[in-house]
Chains A and B, each alone.
Chain A
Amino acid sequence: MLRRWYDSDLAYSFRRSPSVVIAAIVAGVIIMAAVLAPLISPFNPFDPAALKLMDAFTPPAWTEEGKAIYLMGTDDQGRDLLSTILYGSRISLLVGFAAIAFAAVFGTLLGVLCGYRGGWLDNVVMRLADVQLTIPSILIALTIDGVARTALPRELHNEIAIFVLIFAIGIADWPQFARVARSAAMVERHKDYVSAARVIGQPSWVIVLRHVLPNTLGPVLVLATIGLALAVLSEATLSFLGCGMPPTQPSLGTLIRVGQSFLFSGEWWITFFPAMTLVLLVLAVNVLGDWLRDALNPKLR
Chain B
Amino acid sequence: MLGYIVGRLAQALAVMLAVALVAFLLFNYVGDPINNMVGQDATTTDRADLRDQLGLNDPAPVQFGRFLVNAAQGNFGLSYRLKRPVSTLIQERLPATLELVFLSALASLVLGLPLGVYTALRRDSWLSRVVLTSSLVGVSLPTFVIGIGLIYLLSVQFDLLPSFGRGQVVSLGWWSTGFLTKSGWAAIVMPAITLSLYQLTLVLRLVRTEMLEVLRTDYIKFARARGLSNRIIHFHHALKNTMMPVVTIVGLQIGGLIAFSIVTETVFQWPGMGLLFIQAVGFADIPVMAAYLVLVGAMFVVLNLLVDMAYFVIDPRLRVDRAKAAGKAT
**Mostly helix, strand, loop or mixed at chain B's interface?**
helix
Point out the residues of chain B lying under 8 angstroms from A240, CB to CB.
Answer: 142, 144, 263, 266
Q: Which of A106-142 contact B (CB under 8 A)?
A: 127, 130-131, 134-136, 138-139, 142
User: Is B31's CB under 8 angstroms from A136's CB?
Assistant: no
The minimal Cβ–Cβ distance linking A139 to chain B, given in whole angstroms, is 5
Knowing A131-B15, A151-B30, A271-B148 are in contact, say whether A139-B142 is a contact too (CB < 8 A): no
Knowing A134-B301, A241-B266, A271-B148 are in contact, say whether A236-B142 is a contact too (CB < 8 A): yes
User: Is B156's CB under 8 angstroms from A275's CB?
Assistant: no
Point out the residues of chain A lying under 8 angstroms from B280, CB to CB.
Answer: 146
Interchain CB contact (< 8 A) of B297 among A135, A145, A233, A260: A135
User: Is A134's CB under 8 angstroms from B304's CB?
Assistant: yes
Point out the residues of chain A lying under 8 angstroms from B144, CB to CB.
Answer: 236-237, 240, 256
Knowing A146-B289, A149-B284, A271-B148 are in contact, say whether A279-B142 is a contact too (CB < 8 A): yes
Which of chain A's residues has its CB closest to B14's CB? Answer: A131
**Mostly helix, strand, loop or mixed at chain A's interface?**
helix
Q: Which of B140-156 contact A (CB under 8 A)?
A: 140-145, 148-149, 151-152, 156
User: Is B156's CB under 8 angstroms from A263's CB?
Assistant: yes
User: Is A147's CB under 8 angstroms from B30's CB?
Assistant: yes
Point out the residues of chain B lying under 8 angstroms from A147, CB to CB.
Answer: 26, 30
Q: Which of A272-299 contact B (CB under 8 A)?
A: 275, 278-279, 282-283, 286-287, 290
Contact mask for chain A residues 150-166; partner B; CB cutoff 8 A; 1 contact, 0 none: 11000000000000000
User: Is A263's CB under 8 angstroms from B152's CB?
Assistant: yes
User: Is B145's CB under 8 angstroms from A275's CB?
Assistant: yes
Point out the residues of chain B lying under 8 angstroms from A279, CB to CB.
Answer: 137, 140-142, 145
Knowing A283-B137, A286-B140 are in contact, say whether A136-B255 is a contact too (CB < 8 A): yes
User: Is B148's CB under 8 angstroms from A256's CB?
Assistant: yes
User: Is A275's CB under 8 angstroms from B148's CB?
Assistant: yes
Interface status of A28 (Cβ within 8 A of chain B)? no
CA distance A229 to B137 in the complex (A): 13
Interface status of B69 (Cβ within 8 A of chain A)? no
Interface status of B281 (Cβ within 8 A of chain A)? yes
Point out the residues of chain B lying under 8 angstroms from A271, CB to CB.
Answer: 148
User: Is A286's CB under 8 angstroms from B281's CB?
Assistant: no
Interface status of A193 (Cβ within 8 A of chain B)? no
Point out the residues of chain A lying under 8 angstroms from B304, CB to CB.
Answer: 134
Knowing A134-B301, A143-B289 are in contact, say whether A150-B31 is a contact too (CB < 8 A): yes
User: Is A241's CB under 8 angstroms from B140's CB?
Assistant: no
Interface status of B61 (Cβ within 8 A of chain A)? no
Interchain CB contact (< 8 A) of B148 among A127, A142, A237, A260: A260
User: Is A268's CB under 8 angstroms from B278's CB?
Assistant: no
Interface status of A264 (Cβ within 8 A of chain B)? yes
Which of chain B's residues has its CB closest to A243's CB? Answer: B281
CA distance A193 to B14 in the complex (A): 40
Contact mask for chain A residues 186-216; partner B; CB cutoff 8 A; 1 contact, 0 none: 0000000000000000000000000000000
User: Is A139's CB under 8 angstroms from B296's CB?
Assistant: yes
Interface status of B309 (Cβ within 8 A of chain A)? no
Interchain CB contact (< 8 A) of A263 among B19, B148, B278, B284: B148
Point out the residues of chain A lying under 8 angstroms from B260, CB to CB.
Answer: 136, 138
Interchain CB contact (< 8 A) of B262 among A151, A241, A268: A241
Point out the residues of chain A lying under 8 angstroms from B152, CB to CB.
Answer: 263, 268
The minimal Cβ–Cβ distance linking B2 to chain A, given in whole angstroms, is 21
Interface status of A242 (Cβ within 8 A of chain B)? yes
Interface status of B180 (Cβ within 8 A of chain A)? no
User: Is A138's CB under 8 angstroms from B140's CB?
Assistant: no
CA distance A194 to B137 in the complex (A): 43
Knowing A136-B255, A138-B260, A263-B156 are in contact, say whether A243-B142 is a contact too (CB < 8 A): no
The minimal Cβ–Cβ distance linking A89 to chain B, given in whole angstroms, is 14
User: Is B142's CB under 8 angstroms from A283's CB?
Assistant: no
Interchain CB contact (< 8 A) of B142 among A278, A286, A287: A278
Point out the residues of chain A lying under 8 angstroms from B266, CB to CB.
Answer: 240-241
User: Is B145's CB under 8 angstroms from A278's CB?
Assistant: yes
Point out the residues of chain A lying under 8 angstroms from B289, CB to CB.
Answer: 143, 146
User: Is B18's CB under 8 angstroms from A242's CB?
Assistant: no
Interface status of B256 (Cβ within 8 A of chain A)? yes
The minimal Cβ–Cβ distance linking A54 to chain B, given in whole angstroms, is 26
The minimal Cβ–Cβ distance linking B202 to chain A, given in whole angstroms, is 13
* Residues on B facing A (Cβ under 8 Å): 11, 14-15, 18-19, 22, 26, 30-31, 136-137, 139-145, 148-149, 151-152, 156, 163, 255-256, 259-260, 262-263, 266-267, 277-278, 280-282, 284, 286, 289, 293, 296-297, 300-301, 304
Supplied contacts A150-B284, A237-B142, A241-B278, 5 more A-B pairs, CB within 8 Å:
A134-B300, A134-B304, A150-B286, A275-B148, A279-B137
Q: List 18 A-B contacts (CB under 8 A).
A: A130-B11, A131-B14, A131-B18, A136-B255, A136-B256, A138-B260, A138-B262, A139-B296, A143-B293, A149-B282, A241-B262, A242-B282, A243-B278, A243-B281, A263-B148, A275-B142, A275-B145, A283-B137
